[in-house]
């Protein structure tokens, strides 16, 4: 503080550093102008102290909200990835999901059963769209933040899922097909496990970017909407899978045991419950206590 | 965001053109008779800027002017129309009140 400045200017040091960096100069001039215009210093000082308290409260609240959003989003992300991987891969591999033909065969004997096939397709489309929207929004924000702060590691981490997906799918084409020898099966199982590890590694890379980047409020809002959308998708898809599985087993169409369907639906139900709990927990957590991831 | 009195006063002041901090304080004092303190004024400015209802304009000196955005003008108009309906209703009912 310079000697020619009115003493209330010293109270600017009570404001948060970020706030002072943005508005400090302007506020300093305003105090000087108001004082020169005849404004009494004591009410001005009291007003500045109240303003400083309000600025701190706002920053604390924003940090807490950001932390809650971050942890809830990461929980939903892990749940959604596990859910989608199980639903897409194992569900497909075990031929658990209904085909249009099976649905047509079941419908006449069970007219009350909803068309789970179409429900699953619609739920999948909504889930993919919500994920893509959130991914693009967060990626743009993360790139901007990484450029501003010179964080090269963010770009490396963002490239991880793309490189892993490209490498794994490329390798899939090279696997021998149709010849069920022990060696080929071992290779296939090994490649599958490598794929699971790749999914986990890619998700962890995304989580690291989410943890290390300061996202805007708008990005968090979009992330929150996307998290709510994919959680709703998980609830609907789990319900549809259960409904269809029960309907098929109650009809004359089903052949074979139910273990694959039960395992898949159990994993879907658990991951869905995890996502629902994360979202509810983020909303209910009392102020001052961040939600654990 | 809550339409606190300082927020409405700042938006109303900026409705007729960009102003910096001191010009805002003087204008608000002129049209509303309210002497906003510097902490209150900049608290409102920072909330409004976060919300995207006002934006800072480039300036050569440290007195940075602010202007209202289209979103800010829209929200202010809606708020003032609602307040006007309440004021009109209240005044007409006061006129109808029987005198003792």
Domains annotated for chain B, with CATH where assigned, are 5-96 (1.10.10.10)
Q: What is the pLDDT of residue B23?
A: 93
Cβ–Cβ gap B63/A34 under 8 Å: no
User: Taking a C-beta distance cutoff of 8 angstroms, is the pair A80, A230 a contact?
Assistant: yes
Say whether A25 and B40 touch across the interface (CB within 8 A): no
Which residues is B19 bridged to in the sheet? B66
Q: Is the pLDDT of residue A252 over 90?
A: no
* CA–CA separation, A48 and B39 (whole Å): 4
- In terms of Cα–Cα distance, which of A54, A64, A67 is closest to A19? A54
Give exposure, A61-70, as e/b (b: 16+ Cβ within 10 Å). eeebebebbb
Q: Which residue has the tokens 């790139």?
A: A143
- Total residues belonging to chain B: 100
Question: Is the distance from CB of B24 to CB of A34 less than 8 angstroms?
Answer: no
Q: How far apart are CA A256 and CA A17, in angstroms?
A: 67
Angle CA A62–A293–A205, to nearest 5 = 95
The DSSP 8-state label assigned to residue A252 in this structure reads S
Question: Who's near B3: CB < 8 A, 6+ residues apart?
Answer: B79
Average pLDDT, chain A: 81
What H or E segment, with its residue span, contains residue B85?
A: helix B70-96
- Token pair listed for A143: 């790139």
Considering only CA atoms, which of A43, A42, A15 is closest in space to residue A28? A15
Inter-chain touch B39–A22, beta carbons under 8 Å:
no
- What is the rounded distance in angstroms from the CA atom of residue A183 to the CA atom of residue A141? 46
ipTM surpasses 0.90: no
The region of weakest confidence among A21-25, A94-98, A187-191 is: A94-98
A288 has pLDDT over 60: no
SS3 content of chain A, % helix, strand, coil (to 5): 80, 0, 20
Q: Output the pTM of the full model.
A: 0.56
The alpha-carbon gap from A197 to the nearest alpha carbon of chain B, in Å, equals 41
Question: Per-residue pLDDT for B12 more than 90?
Answer: yes
Most confident of A50-64, A254-268, B33-47: B33-47
Q: Which of the residues B25, B36, B37, B62 would you substitute to probe the A interface, choosing the one with the greatest number of A C-beta atoms within 10 Å?
A: B37
Which residue from A minimizes the CA distance to B26?
A34
Torsion of CA A20, A21, A23, A24, to 10 degrees: 60
CB of B43 less than 8 A from some CB of A: yes
Mean pLDDT of A120-129: 87
């Amino acid at each position: 503080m310079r000697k020619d400045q009115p003493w209330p200017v010293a109270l600017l040091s009570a404001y948060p550093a970020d706030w002072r960096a943005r508005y400090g100069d302007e506020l300093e001039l305003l105090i000087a102008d108001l004082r020169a215009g005849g404004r009494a210093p004591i009410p001005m000082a009291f007003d500045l102290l109240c303003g400083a308290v309000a600025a701190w409260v706002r920053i604390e609240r924003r940090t807490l909200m950001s932390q809650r959003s971050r942890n809830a989003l990461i929980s939903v992300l892990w749940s959604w990835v596990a859910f989608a991987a199980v639903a897409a891969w194992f569900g497909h591999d075990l031929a658990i999901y209904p085909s249009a033909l099976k649905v047509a065969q079941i419908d006449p004997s069970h007219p009350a059963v909803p068309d789970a096939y179409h429900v699953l397709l619609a739920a999948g489309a909504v889930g993919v769209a919500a994920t893509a929207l959130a991914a693009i929004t967060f990626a743009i924000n993360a790139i901007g933040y990484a450029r501003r702060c010179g964080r090269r590691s963010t770009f490396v981490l963002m490239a991880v899922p793309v490189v892993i997906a490209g490498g794994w799918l490329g390798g899939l084409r090279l696997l021998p097909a149709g010849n069920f020898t022990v060696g080929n099966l071992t290779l296939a199982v090994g490649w599958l496990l490598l794929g699971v590890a790749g999914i986990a590694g890619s998700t962890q890379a995304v989580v690291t970017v989410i943890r290390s980047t300061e996202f805007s409020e708008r990005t968090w809002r979009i992330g929150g909407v996307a998290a709510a959308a994919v959680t709703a998708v998980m609830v609907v898809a789990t319900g549809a899978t259960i409904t269809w599985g029960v309907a098929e087993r109650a009809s004359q169409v089903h052949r074979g045991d139910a273990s694959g369907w039960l395992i898949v639906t159990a994993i879907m139900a658990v991951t869905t419950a995890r996502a629902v709990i994360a979202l509810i927990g983020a909303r209910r957590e009392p102020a001052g206590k961040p939600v654990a991831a | 965001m809550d339409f606190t009195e300082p927020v409405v006063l700042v938006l109303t002041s900026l409705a007729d053109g960009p102003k910096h901090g001191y010009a805002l304080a003087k204008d608000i004092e002129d049209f509303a008779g309210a002497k906003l303190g510097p902490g209150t004024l900049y608290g409102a400015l920072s909330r409004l800027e976060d919300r995207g209802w006002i934006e800072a304009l480039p300036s050569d000196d440290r007195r940075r002017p602010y202007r209202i955005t289209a979103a800010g003008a829209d929200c202010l108009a809606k708020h003032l129309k609602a307040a006007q309906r309440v004021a009109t209703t209240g005044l007409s009912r006061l006129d109808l009140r029987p005198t003792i």
